[in-house]
């Protein structure tokens, strides 16, 4: 008697057809840093573990022209070791630096982070600020989903049961200023109470465009679009920042949980927005 089964496709194609056949019974297993704790916590049972961890097609970081593409199996450690990420996606690199701890980073994949759809996902937030697009495949073909549209609720994503995230890509953010702040109760090995990523295009001391993504402040990671609009085209000074940090609180819906209260998270949002922008500009 056992509620789990296991299958290890050898190619992406095989994986897609397995997913197709199994439908909702399939549970994709990548780095398993979520899957195994979920099994232990009995949040997961009665499924076929589809082990994609050795699929070469899903590995590697590619830079093509102005686009960086991360295979869904790219680990957080690989992001940290990538020069392309460090220079052209600094916000993601900074997030990787504070993701979990060095050991977990060796296993945790970016695809797993996206699919896991945690409101606090530290891979999701910077990618959202980079305007990333997620490539999803099933036996019928490929579709691209803007990362912002991937999530439907805490732990819920818009993937169909037979779909596999194969990659996530974004434009190289070469001429931008960016910053990622993770606020947790300790420096490492802490789940974000609030996280924020900002990516900005500036012109002298004017801010042309900014993308702001927030973690742990709503049922899913979110963009703060009203605040982005408010800041776009502005000269950044204390007054504007003050305004923005008030406005941003209206764009989120944090909850109270064991880690922090709603009020505290709201407060942090304003504080971290200011800090993130100031640090990015500094």
Ligand X SMILES: Cc1cc2nc3c(=O)[nH]c(=O)nc-3n(C[C@H](O)[C@H](O)[C@H](O)COP(=O)(O)OP(=O)(O)OC[C@H]3O[C@@H](n4cnc5c(N)ncnc54)[C@H](O)[C@@H]3O)c2cc1C
Residues interacting with other proteins, by CB under 8 A? 1-2, 4-10, 14, 18, 22, 29, 31-33, 35-37, 39-42, 48-49, 51, 53-54, 77, 100-104, 106-107, 183, 185-191, 258-261, 263-264, 267-268, 271, 275
Tokens of 146: 């803007």
Q: Which of 18, 47, 99, 194 binds ligand X (CB under 6 A)?
A: 99
Site for ligand X in 148-187 (CB under 6 A): 159, 164-165
64 binds, among ligand X, other proteins, none (CB under 5 to 8 A by kind): none
Q: Which of residues 62-91 bind ligand X (CB under 6 A)?
A: 72
Is residue 109 within the footprint of ligand X (CB under 6 A)? Answer: yes
Contact of 93 with 80, CB cutoff 8 Å: yes
Counting contacts by CB under 6 A, is residue 107 touching ligand X?
yes
Binding of ligand X by 126 (CB under 6 A): no
Terminal CA-to-CA distance of the chain, rounded, Å?
60
Minimum distance, C-beta of residue 101 to ligand X, in the bound complex (Å): 6
* Residue 4's binding partner out of ligand X, other proteins, none, with CB under 5 to 8 Å set by partner kind: other proteins
Angle between helices 262-281 and 238-247 (to 10 degrees): 150
Half-sphere exposure of 125 (CA within 13 A, CB side): 34
Q: Least CB distance from residue 103 to ligand X, whole Å? A: 8
Nearest approach in angstroms of CB 209 to ligand X is: 26
Q: What is the largest CA-CA distance in the chain?
A: 67
**Quick check: 168 and 70 in contact, CB under 8 A?**
yes
Alpha-carbon span 46 to 115, nearest angstrom: 19
- The Cα–Cα gap between 251 and 227 comes to 8
Closest of 150, 133, 125 to residue 211, by C-alpha:
125
Q: With CB cut-offs between 5 and 8 Å by kind, which of ligand X, other proteins, none does residue 115 bind?
A: ligand X
260 binds, among other proteins, ligand X, none (CB under 5 to 8 A by kind): other proteins
Residue 138: contacted member of ligand X, other proteins, none (CB under 5 to 8 Å, by partner type):
none
Task: Give the Cα separation of 155 and 122 in Å (integer).
Answer: 14
């Amino acid at each position: 008697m056992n509620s789990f089964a296991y299958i290890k496709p050898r190619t992406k194609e095989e994986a897609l057809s397995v997913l197709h056949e199994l439908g909702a019974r399939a549970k994709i297993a990548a780095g398993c840093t979520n899957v195994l704790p979920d099994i232990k916590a009995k949040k997961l049972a009665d499924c076929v573990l589809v082990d994609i961890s050795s699929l070469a097609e899903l590995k590697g970081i590619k830079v093509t022209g102005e686009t960086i593409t991360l295979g869904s199996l790219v680990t957080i450690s690989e992001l940290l070791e990538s020069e392309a990420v460090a220079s052209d996606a600094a916000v993601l690199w900074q997030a990787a630096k504070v993701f979990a701890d060095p050991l977990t980073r060796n296993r945790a994949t970016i695809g797993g982070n996206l699919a896991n759809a945690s409101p606090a996902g530290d891979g999701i937030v910077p990618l959202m600020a980079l305007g990333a697009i997620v490539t999803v495949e099933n036996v019928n073909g490929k579709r691209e989903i803007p990362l912002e549209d991937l999530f439907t609720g805490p732990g819920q994503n818009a993937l169909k049961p037979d779909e596999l995230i194969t990659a996530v890509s974004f434009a190289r953010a070469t001429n931008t200023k960016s910053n990622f702040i993770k606020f947790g109760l300790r420096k490492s090995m802490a789940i974000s109470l609030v996280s924020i990523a900002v990516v900005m295009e500036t012109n002298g001391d004017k801010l042309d465009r900014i993308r702001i993504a927030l973690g742990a402040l709503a049922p899913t990671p979110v963009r703060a679009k009203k605040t982005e609009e408010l800041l776009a085209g502005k000269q950044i000074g204390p007054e504007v920042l003050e305004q923005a940090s008030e406005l941003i609180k209206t764009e989120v819906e944090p909850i109270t949980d064991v880690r922090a209260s709603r009020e505290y998270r709201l407060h942090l949002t304003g504080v971290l927005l200011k800090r993130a922008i100031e640090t990015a500009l500094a």
